[in-house]
Structure 1
Amino acid sequence: MHHPRRAARLLAGMAVAALTVTACGGGGGGAGGGEGSLAAIDLSGASFTVGSKEFTEQIVLGQIAVQALEATGADAGNLVTITGSTNVRTALTAGEIDMYWEYTGTGWTTHFQHEPQSAPDGDAALYQAVAEEDRNNGIAWLAPAPLDNTYAVATAEGRDQELGVRTLSEYAALVNRDPAQARMCAAAEFLTRDDGWPGLEQAYGFDLPADGIAELELSLIPQQTATGENCNFGEVTATDGAVAANNLVLLEDDKQFFVPYNAAMTVRQEVLDANPRLAEVFDPIAAKLTTELVRGLNERVDVGGELPEDVAEQFLQENGFIG
């Protein structure tokens, strides 16, 4: 049943110490607002540190979390943005942050070091598995969102027909037949993750020469893939707002290699024990976060040039969470 695509994350910095702080901004309806469903949840006096990874979707989700907490009367300060999945996870387990949105597929493959092919079949089963395993680490997974930000390989609309590549199996055949035409743009983290490029090559039976890969910042890949100057194919995610804007199409993951990447708020258990109403804050928010909706939020930032905190505030207002 599960739908392949992916969760983007670049591994561009090694030290958790190298944190960058993103201003919270947006003013999303503080404790005294008295409007919206979050105003009914009183967390005044509580203080939280929210983290995120460094790409657009994570910053938007992080801003949603910060503003939601502020709407309950809690002090959420500034969003702490950290480069790389492993680094933000380390910040959580070390107590440097209290919570951040993580993806089930990343939990399974990156944090717990399981093979992608061994993942339980289906979104719900994978969520249950990672939530259960993480209890041993003192980390709680709140309710998952429908959002599945799974990995994908994209190419320009029309080029898929020209090259006869509409599936990843057909891409593998192209690599083996004409590797120059199969040139791939990808970000550093994808190129090293077992649930990324190395696993993909193994699952589909191809080996693209190193000079056939252009390593780029994730945000640059859609445009480079669209032009075809640097690469005919590119790593993207199912929720990348720049995919449609650049007239890209996603290749079908016909062997269903990519595992689901449903987003869920991960919280240190001791923080949740002290503030059990955090589930009341985030579970209804998660329920609204579909793949299509989040793709639209990302597009407003990456293509429309809006600020993540403004997009987050409008999401909370439009869904009745804040006034």
Structure 2
Amino acid sequence: MRIRLMAVLAAAALAVTACGGGGGGGDAGTGGGGGEGSLSAIDLSGATFQVGSKEFTEQIVLGQIAVQALEATGADVGNLITITGSTNVRTALTAGELDMYWEYTGTGWTTHLRHEPQSAPKGDQELYDAVSAEDKGNGIAWLAPAPVDNTYAIATAQGRDAELGVRTLSEYAALVNRDPAQARMCAAAEFLTRDDGWPGLEKAYGFDLPDDGIAELELSLVPAEIASGQNCNFGEVTATDGAVAANNLVLLEDDQQFFVPYNAAMTVRQEVLDQHPQLAEVFNPIAAKLTTELLRGLNERVDVGGELPEEVAESFLRDNGFIG
């Protein structure tokens, strides 16, 4: 059986984050789009929105950015709702329990639209165009994509890659087939079940790591476990994980280009966007600022520096002139 280092959060549970809602943003929530900054020119006073996010750091930061941005326009937003698991947060959106949340194009293509990872259009814009066009039939609108690509990656400790002769995923696959004990993997529950995660990776690279070689734990704990080497030599991370550099990790090259792009975009129920087309004016300029390097830095401020997600979100909005 898979080793569970920590109980996985109940996937269907909705959790109201204690830091949601009133996290900064000057005159946020006072109505009429008052205050300073570019968002003050957009008036959504009288509108009410429910914003959601997934449960990991980047999503919570992005969710807080959305909450505070909407509050700066005078909208009534309330607390950010965090939901464990991509399928569950998407279900909340399509069921009308949420009005919007940030999603990734790769997740849209594989998890929500149920396409094989290898069938994804090549190129960030091409994948976004395909996902956004197909999802219109589901009543979901994708606003402008951010340049950030939060793609999956497999990491190991600096120096260990040379020691084990593993710098690419093809070399990792060879290690699994040669010495599975040295190829032990730490990963979160969702990655271990997604077609664009572990099952697809094993299939694409032609390896089959025994279940006792996989340690399942919360994603935030993976980088430190990789660095220690006590439970695993390798682990799942993402390209924007701020803990990668902090733990002196290196990413294995995806030399067969299995992982698809994961550009972030705000997904909104079409009926909500039809009622409030100004939402594009709110989020498209924000998305344009969200590069991979910037998100990595924001995540690091939370996961390594210990700042609160709503504080990091507020400073992003303020530093970029969205709020005063």
Superposition TM-score tier, normalisation by shorter sequence: over 0.9
User: What TM-score results when the alignment is normalised by the length of structure 2?
Assistant: 0.95
The C-alpha deviation readout for 1:258-317, integer Å capped at 9, x for no partner, is 000000000000000000010000000000000000000000000000000000000000
Q: 2:102 is matched with which residue?
A: 101
Q: Which amino acid aligns with 1:24?
A: G
Could you tell me whether the CA contact under 8 Å between 1:11 and 1:83 is conserved in 2? no
1:190 aligns with 2:187: no
Counterpart-to-counterpart distance in 2, 1:270 and 1:69: 17
User: What TM-score results when the alignment is normalised by the length of structure 1?
Assistant: 0.95
Could you tell me whether the CA contact under 8 Å between 1:12 and 1:84 is conserved in 2? no
Counterpart-to-counterpart distance in 2, 1:306 and 1:152: 25
1:13 aligns with 2:10: yes
The C-alpha deviation readout for 1:154-200, integer Å capped at 9, x for no partner, is 00000001111000000001111111100000111101100000000
Q: 1:24 aligns with which of 18, 21, 24?
A: 21
Matched residue count:
312
- In structure 2, list runs of 5 or more residues that go unmatched: 1-6
Give 3-state SS (helix, strand or coil) of 2:207's partner: coil
Could you tell me whether the CA contact under 8 Å between 1:187 and 1:218 is conserved in 2? yes
Counterpart-to-counterpart distance in 1, 2:8 and 2:85: 4
Q: 2:221 is matched with which residue?
A: 220
Counterpart-to-counterpart distance in 1, 2:210 and 2:114: 26
Task: Return 33-42 or 226-235, whichever deviates more.
Answer: 33-42
Counterpart-to-counterpart distance in 2, 1:143 and 1:119: 19
Query: Per-residue deviation at 1:20?
Result: 0.6
Give 3-state SS (helix, strand or coil) of 1:236's partner: strand
Give 3-state SS (helix, strand or coil) of 1:144's partner: strand
Q: 1:156 is matched with which residue?
A: 157
Counterpart-to-counterpart distance in 1, 2:56 and 2:260: 20
The C-alpha deviation readout for 1:44-70, integer Å capped at 9, x for no partner, is 111100000000000000000000000
Give 3-state SS (helix, strand or coil) of 1:136's partner: helix
Query: Per-residue deviation at 1:11?
Result: 7.6
- CA shift in 2, pair 1:163/1:225, >3 Å: same
Give 3-state SS (helix, strand or coil) of 1:101's partner: strand
Superposition map of 1:15-94 within 5 A: 15=12, 18-22=13-17, 23-29=20-26, 30=28, 31=31, 33-94=34-95
Q: 1:4 is matched with which residue?
A: none
The C-alpha deviation readout for 1:13-68, integer Å capped at 9, x for no partner, is 332xx211112232212256431000000111111000000000000000000000
Counterpart-to-counterpart distance in 1, 2:262 and 2:182: 29
Could you tell me whether the CA contact under 8 Å between 2:34 and 2:74 is conserved in 1? no
Give 3-state SS (helix, strand or coil) of 2:138's partner: coil
Give 3-state SS (helix, strand or coil) of 1:49's partner: coil
Could you tell me whether the CA contact under 8 Å between 1:154 and 1:250 is conserved in 2? yes
1:291 aligns with 2:286: no
